């Protein structure tokens, strides 16, 4: 099964597409983590590890950060608004799935790309000098993400690939 190929050697594919299936699986994983971690009763005698009842704390990721790859092989990008970022730095290729509907459409939260290598957190400007495209070398500088209030609705059938980047705790329950 590949991009735009409706069948495989075994027979027809009964799916909206692999990107849709992967993003739906990511949503299920995130929802389960939020249900487990956001429970009002955080100390369960039967499930908590030794020491977990004494000091229960959220330790699991609530977000699977991913990128979508377009049919021409480039990362899909979207704009975000962040109160902490430089207003001229507003583009990201990193997302968190919030919802899926109509078979293959999704609401994605745009994640702010951050760099913490020099012990100070700063937003990474992913655009090239001329501002027209993503500078692939700058993507490698990203080692953390922050949730934004910016969301985008996409038709996942327009993409050829999804690349999972990291599982992180964005404080969705906070």
Per-residue pLDDT tens over the stretch 34-49: 877 776 555 554 555 5
Residue with tokens 């092989």: 73
pLDDT score recorded for residue 129: 87
- Beta-carbon count within 10 A of 44 CB: 12
Find, among 124, 34, 139, the residue nearest to 80 by Cα. Answer: 124
pLDDT at 100: 96
The Cα–Cα gap between 112 and 123 comes to: 7
pLDDT tier at 104, thresholds 50, 70, 90: very high
Q: Which of 126, 119, 124, 164 is nearest to 145 (CA)?
A: 124
pLDDT band at residue 12 using 50, 70 and 90 as cut-offs: low
The phi, psi pair for 132, rounded to 5°, reads -95, -30
pTM: 0.78
Q: What is the pLDDT of residues 59-80, one digit of tens each?
A: 578 899 999 999 999 999 999 9
Mean pLDDT of 6-14: 51
**What does DSSP assign to residue 145?**
E
pLDDT at residue number 3:
46
């Amino acid at each position: 099964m590949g991009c735009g190929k409706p069948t495989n050697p075994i027979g027809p594919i009964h799916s909206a597409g692999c990107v849709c299936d992967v993003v739906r699986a990511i949503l299920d994983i995130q929802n389960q983590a939020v249900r487990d971690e956001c429970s009002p009763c955080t100390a369960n005698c039967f499930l908590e590890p030794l020491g977990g009842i004494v000091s229960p704390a959220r330790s699991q990721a609530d977000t699977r950060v991913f990128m979508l790859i377009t049919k021409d092989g480039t990362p899909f990008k979207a704009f975000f608004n962040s109160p902490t970022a430089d207003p001229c730095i507003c583009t990201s290729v990193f997302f968190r799935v919030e919802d899926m509907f109509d078979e293959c459409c999704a609401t994605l939260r745009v994640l702010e790309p951050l760099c913490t290598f020099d012990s100070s957190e700063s937003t990474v400007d992913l655009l090239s000098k001329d501002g027209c495209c993503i500078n692939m070398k700058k993507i490698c500088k990203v080692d953390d993400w922050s949730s934004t209030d910016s969301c985008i609705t996409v038709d996942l059938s327009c993409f050829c690939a999804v690349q999972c980047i990291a599982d992180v705790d964005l404080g969705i329950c906070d």
